[in-house]
Structure 1
């Protein structure tokens, strides 16, 4: 209290209580607030770190006991384990506790804001981030999907659209009929008219997942799979063959070249290209081959590229899973490939 009184007597405009090492507990915050609030008339705020995983809880307790300022960061970025995530603070204070933090229409920009800050900070978005993460309102088990279609509050604590997020239904080996029907409606794909049903699609997904595929984070591949199983997909082009070489001498950097042959209808195209590595060379050659047929491909950009060994007992000969996230001016989509050859999987 001596430090606080000195600040007040020195003309401070506000008092911010700081837990800079991140170790305080919620009941301790409450005791401190009960001691400080009756003693001063200035606005009081809270500044906490998340070293104990309690930054959000501590901030909410402080507000309940009179704090009117919460210092933090978007997505909780900060020293060590981070600061309190202001998006979670706003979400809980306004949507759960009745405090006015933002105009209601501005709440719908929270998900966009979270992802923008992730992009600027060059930190991949955390899918499990409360309120704004890709998985915050995601459902996989068939019984869950069936339930949310009848009563969303059974497995969703709020309407995701209030913070600009959306409900996602995932498809995996845990999926049931409800998952497939939900996804096909979302993708505007017809079911039932061609002899295939949801069970057939689920069985095909389970078969591929046994081979290492995962469709939870590859909705682009999932849409293609469903269309192929139901006979609603028309191949835009066919890959006839490709060849990739990489060279390295003692002095210079490595270089990669790729040649590729495709067919579009009755036309064939053979192209070659160089790149910064074999995947980039093949990508450049494919784009070059397709550009005259599909000029919109020039708008496609790579967002993320991930490689994971599925099972490592075969060493460098092990099967790998490649997840690719791409985007154009309108949307972002993800695809997956599996092979013992990383180039083929890509």
Structure 2
């Protein structure tokens, strides 16, 4: 039998719905409930994104969780920064969360069009961001953003992105399949 671990994103993704805005107290209550129900990882939000997220990470340090580890969400470093000098990577470390989940570009189109950097530079961005977080003592998940679109267009490069994350020390490689959400939204029309 395999050990199943649940990674919950309610405190970040869940509050992106229309009319939903959790208070810090709401987020603490939800985190406690998720922990009581055996959730392994609770993504608390993106440190530095808002004062509310900062306050949540400050307060959740005082809560004893029995099952769950808190996760700070974010992105790889900006190409113009070193990992050590990247404000948002440092905010993840300063959050006190023992786990980081960072996303990075794995679709060559986005590397060229959104980041406006070379493919090789993006691989360095991924690897060095994760290595910095690992050096800071965090468990790291790498979310390969738009992996399947990238794989369809350039499979060799998409795989290189995963390999760069692994080389940086990521324990878990993640890619969310967006097709489910697309199908659900089409069926509601």
Q: Report the TM range for the smaller structure's normalisation.
A: 0.3 to 0.5
The structure richer in strand per residue is 1
The structure richer in helix per residue is 2
TM-score of the superposition, structure 2-length normalised? 0.36
Higher relative contact order (Cα pairs below 8 Å, separated by 6+ residues): 2
